[in-house]
């Protein structure tokens, strides 16, 4: 892993002002994806700003929806009474998404920002337009059973690996993002980009912006929603 | 815990170490490390607490599982420096040779291992899993997530422990050990 500077922010303002001048700085959540990618030299930030100590938490919105802080751990979302009662599909998606240990570490914002699990993206010796724009895509004629059926392009067939994000998309969530110079709200379904001609551009987030929270609208039907997962293997292929 | 830990300025120039203090098994340890040192490597290489094992080093096997403020986490996928101000418990903090943890006793009684390499992670994970269950956390096999799960069935144990792999295949013994220790209600 390349060397980097570590910085811990405990307030949103600290986090935003510190990232602003750092073109190669990254926010760090639980680390379950970013640390792994840094170890593989796929991600190479000069500075990481730890935002796990921010404390927005989970709360009921004035309109009857629910607001979930970006720093909230996945297990805390899955176990929260408001989520379990009003949006059970979100609990189920998270519970289907990773092992108990990873759910205890991974944050909501980190889950949204995680990178694809495409084998060629992780393999520095392979061609990958997402990792190295213009180099080609070895997945298209390679092992691509876990790759995209819908939304792929001639340059990239990688998928976003999150279960949680599928539920957020179905629940018409919105994403609140903020930088030192302002804030904006993006519909969840517009937050991630299709690969198209620029598969290295994965979201609409700028380098100095942080996902501060995700808002779930009041949806009476969601009380009876379920998350059904169709997969070649469970998230953790289990010999148990 | 969260509020008491001070924020930091950019704490190092590249190529230098910094001083951090970690609270492990009830004792404070101060060490000089680079920020890129994982919690797992800090435990094993810097503090010589080698009970926590390095398996895949990429979050798939669970051998490196430790407890952070009582929650099970993977020490390989995170930086040691992120855990300042939190209480880390490793297998060394759960039981000693003279005073074994109830799960350690049951792992021996029920043949919950062969080579033993995954065992510290299995036991730390089981401690965290039982705490999650008692706190009402549902799992992927819980039929109704809006209700509290009523029974820690074989299926629930298997699903909840699926983040820990055992290459010897001692799953039957591990499951029995966990169920027996859970039912005896002696787990702290």
- Residues B85, B41: one domain? yes
Enumerate the domain spans of chain A: 5-114+160-221, 115-159
DSSP assignment of A100-136 equals HHHHHH-BHHHHHHPPP--HHHH-TTS-BTTTSTTS-
- Residues B74, B122: one domain? no
Q: What's the rounded Cα separation, in Å, for the pair B100 and B98? A: 6
- Parallel/antiparallel/unpaired status of strands B18-24 and B65-68: unpaired
Q: Which of B94, B111, B139 is the last residue of a domain?
A: B94
Distance separating the N- and C-terminal Cα atoms of chain B: 21
User: E strand or H helix at B165, and its extent?
Assistant: none
| Predicted pLDDT at A233 | 63
pLDDT in tens, A214-229: 999 999 999 999 999 9
| Predicted pLDDT at B107 | 98
| Predicted pLDDT at B150 | 74
- pTM for the model stands at 0.94
Instruction: Provide the domain count of chain B.
Output: 2
Q: Which of B36, B65, B94 is the last residue of a domain?
A: B94
Q: Which residue of A7, A99, A107, A236 is the best one to mutate when testing the B interface, meaning the one whose CB has the most B CBs within 10 A?
A: A99
Q: Which of B94, B125, B150 is the last residue of a domain?
A: B94
**Using the beta-carbon criterion (under 8 Å), do A30 and B145 form an inter-chain contact?**
no
- Residue B32 located in a structural domain: yes
CA distance B10 to chain A (A): 5
CA distance A154 to chain B (A): 30
Option in A30, A32, A95 nearest B139 (CB): A95
CATH number at residue B48: 3.10.20.30
- Residue B52 located in a structural domain: yes
- Residue B6 located in a structural domain: no
Residue A56 tokens, joined: 């927005």
- Residues in B touching A39 (Cβ below 8 Å): 57-58
Q: What's the rounded Cα separation, in Å, for the pair A235 and A100? A: 11
Range of the domain at B160: 102-184
Per-position pLDDT tens, chain A of length 240: 999 999 999 999 999 999 999 999 999 999 999 999 999 999 999 999 999 999 999 999 999 999 999 999 999 999 999 999 999 999 999 999 999 999 999 999 999 999 999 999 999 999 999 999 999 999 999 999 999 999 999 999 999 999 999 999 999 999 999 999 999 999 999 999 999 999 999 999 999 999 999 999 999 999 999 999 987 765 555 788
- Residue B111 located in a structural domain: yes
- Residues B22, B90: one domain? yes
Option in A32, A38, A53 nearest B2 (CB): A53
- Residue B1 located in a structural domain: no
- Residue B8 located in a structural domain: no
CATH 3.30.465.10 fits A5-114+160-221, yes or no: yes
Whether the CB of B81 is below 8 Å from some CB of chain A: the reply is: yes
Checking ipTM against 0.90, whether it exceeds it is yes
pLDDT category, B10, cuts 50, 70, 90? low
């Amino acid at each position: 892993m390349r060397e980097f500077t570590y910085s811990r922010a405990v307030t949103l303002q600290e986090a935003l002002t510190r990232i602003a001048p750092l073109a190669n700085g990254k926010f760090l959540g639980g680390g379950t994806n970013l640390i792994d990618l840094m170890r593989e030299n796929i991600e190479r930030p000069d500075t990481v700003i730890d935002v796990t100590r921010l404390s927005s938490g989970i709360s009921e919105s004035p309109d009857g929806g629910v607001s979930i802080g970006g720093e909230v751990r996945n297990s805390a979302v899955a176990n929260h009474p408001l989520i379990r009662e009003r949006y059970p599909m979100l609990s189920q998606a998270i519970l289907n998404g990773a092992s108990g240990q990873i759910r205890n570490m991974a944050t909501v914002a980190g889950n949204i920002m995680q990178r694809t699990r495409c084998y060629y993206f992780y393999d520095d010796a392979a061609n990958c337009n997402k990792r190295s724009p213009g180099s080609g895509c070895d997945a298209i004629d390679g092992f691509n059973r876990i790759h995209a059926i819908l939304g792929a392009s001639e340059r990239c067939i990688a998928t976003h690996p999150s279960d949680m994000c599928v539920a957020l998309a179905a629940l018409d969530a919105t994403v609140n993002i903020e930088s030192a110079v302002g804030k904006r709200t993006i519909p969840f379904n517009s937050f991630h980009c299709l690969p198209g001609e620029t598969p290295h551009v994965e979201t609409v987030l700028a380098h100095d912006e942080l996902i501060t929270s995700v808002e779930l609208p009041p949806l009476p039907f969601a009380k009876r929603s379920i998350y059904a997962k169709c997969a070649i293997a469970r998230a953790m292929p289990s010999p148990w | 815990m969260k509020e008491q830990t001070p924020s930091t300025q950019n704490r190092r120039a590249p190529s230098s170490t910094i001083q951090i203090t970690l609270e492990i098994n009830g004792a404070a340890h101060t060490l000089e490390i680079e920020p890129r040192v994982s919690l797992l490597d800090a435990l094993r290489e810097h503090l010589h607490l080698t009970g926590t094992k390095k398996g895949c080093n990429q979050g798939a096997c669970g051998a490196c599982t430790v407890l952070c403020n009582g929650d099970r986490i993977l020490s390989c996928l995170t930086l040691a420096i992120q855990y300042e101000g939190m209480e880390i418990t490793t297998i060394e903090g759960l039981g000693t040779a003279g005073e074994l943890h109830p799960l350690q006793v049951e792992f021996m009684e029920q043949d919950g291992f062969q080579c033993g390499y995954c065992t510290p992670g299995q036991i730390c994970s089981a401690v965290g899993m039982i705490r999650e269950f008692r706190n009402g956390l549902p799992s992927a096999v819980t039929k109704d997530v809006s209700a509290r799960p009523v029974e820690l069935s074989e299926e629930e144990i298997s699903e909840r422990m699926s983040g820990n792999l055992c290459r010897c295949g001692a799953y039957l013994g591990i499951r029995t050990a966990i169920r027996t220790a859970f039912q005896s209600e002696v787990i702290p």
